[in-house]
Structure formats: structure tokens, C-alpha cells
Amino acid sequence: MKCQETSVLVDTKFREWTAGLDAREGMISIFQHIRDIPYSLAIPMTDPKNVPERILTLGRGYCGPKHYLLAEMFRKLGIDVVYATFPFLWNDPDLRYPPALRQLASGLPVSHHLACRVRINERWVLVDATWDSPLKQAGFPVNEHWDGLADTLCTVLQSPVWTTFRCTATDEPCCNGRDRDLNPPDGEQDRRDADDRARYYCEKTRTRSADEIGRICRFYQEFNVWLQEIREPS
């Protein structure tokens, strides 16, 4: 896939993160740097054309911007990447939410998580750089030690929605063959084109009611406050 034109900032960070490394080492370095960009839902970043630069400029971001940046940098290494979207619920039983935040999470509609699948040794491998390392102490499934070869953990794996999809399918990775890239059996939807993935996401979210949007906004605000408390305990 042809790599889209990148910004000076993205190019600079790419060179910084991969200097003196081979392709596999470069992938691992890129992954680790993007993973440890602090996760935040504070600022919407939806245009895949500018989010790689914006997340680097702001120094924070959520799963979408993180994986648009990861895809752009991996493609600069000559690696084939697709955008993997997973349905999930924020009411993950493994997260150690404060009671008030748990109540907010329990009333939210289905959301759509973004990660990447990358082609390594003729196999599609899941790479999920969502949660930064300090969040592990609150039960977040941080992918700490990626070897550049195996699948990382899908960070919404325990979501009730995703678990239901997995139980109805083969429980195998979704993208072992190219014929299944865009229509896997267990709820994951893969897109090779960033704009196509953005359109898919908009289609899934534009039917939300005003009440749902209000609840999502309240949850995002409280969620960001909680993440900051985790990272900077009093």
C-alpha cells in the first residue's frame, strides 16, 4: 500500500524512533513510543489525514489517533497494515472503575475500538498500542512486551460485546487470509483505507440519540479525570 504524504513532525519522530534499528526493532520501538503516549479522550481527532501530527503535537490521544499514527509509521517501514475495528462496551468488568464512573459506563451504547493488523511473515498480526504503561495499576490490559512477531492482546477483549462475538465464531485471529480481511466472522471489521475506516465509524455512531451523546460526554470527562489520578496519585 502506498504511504500517504507525512508531516515533518511525523517524519522527524519516525527517524528518531527507528535510528540504527532493523525493521523488527523499528516496529517494536514505534509500538512502545506510541503505546506510552498518554491515553486521553479530551480532544476529538477524527480526520485520519491530520491525526498523526496532532497526537504528536498534543502528546496525548485515544485508540484512533494512536493507530492511525502507528499505521503511518509502519508503512514507512514497508509493512502492510489494515485498520481493525472492534465493537465493545466501556463497562468492562476488569477495569477498576470508581463507583460513580462504573455507573456512567454501565449506561453507554456500543463503541468501536481501533487497533491495527500488520502483515508479518505472511501472517496478519494484531498490534494494539492503546493503553499507556502507568494504567496497568488500575487493571488496564497494557501490552508491555511486544516482540514484533506475535499478536498483542486486544485491549477490549473482555468487553461483553466482543466476548459475545468471539463465542459465536471460531475464536481464531480474523485475518489469516486476505479473502477474510473485510468480512471476518466475529464482529471485527478491517479496512485498508483510513478514510474508509473513518466513514465506517461515522456510520456506526451517527444514529446515537442526544441522550446517548450527553452520557458519552459525561463519561469521557470523568474518565479523563480518573486516568490523570491514576498517573499522578496524591
Q: Is residue 165 part of a domain?
A: yes
Q: What pLDDT is recorded for position 107?
A: 87
Q: Is residue 151 part of a domain?
A: yes
- CA-nearest of 31, 14, 50 to 128 is 31
Q: How far apart are CA 9 and CA 78, in angstroms?
A: 19
- 71-121 pLDDT, tens digit per residue, is 999 999 999 999 999 988 899 888 899 999 999 999 899 899 999 999 999
Domain that residue 105 falls in:
8-231
pTM: 0.87
Into how many domains does the chain fold? 1
Q: Is residue 207 part of a domain?
A: yes
Q: Is residue 1 part of a domain?
A: no
- 42-69 pLDDT, tens digit per residue, is 998 989 999 999 999 999 999 999 999 9
For residue 9, is pLDDT > 90? yes
Which residues partner with 111 through β-bridges? 88
Long-range contacts of 216-225 (CB under 8 A, 24+ apart): 216/108, 216/109, 218/104, 219/90, 219/101, 219/104, 219/105, 219/108, 220/41, 220/42, 222/100, 222/101, 222/104, 223/41, 223/90, 223/101, 224/40, 224/41, 224/42
Q: Is residue 66 part of a domain?
A: yes
- 25-42 pLDDT, tens digit per residue, is 999 999 999 999 999 999
- 179-221 pLDDT, tens digit per residue, is 344 444 457 888 999 999 999 999 988 889 999 999 999 999 9
CATH code of the domain containing 125: 3.10.620
Q: Is residue 2 part of a domain?
A: no
Q: What percent of the chain has pLDDT over 90?
A: 67
Q: Is residue 85 part of a domain?
A: yes
Q: Is residue 185 part of a domain?
A: yes
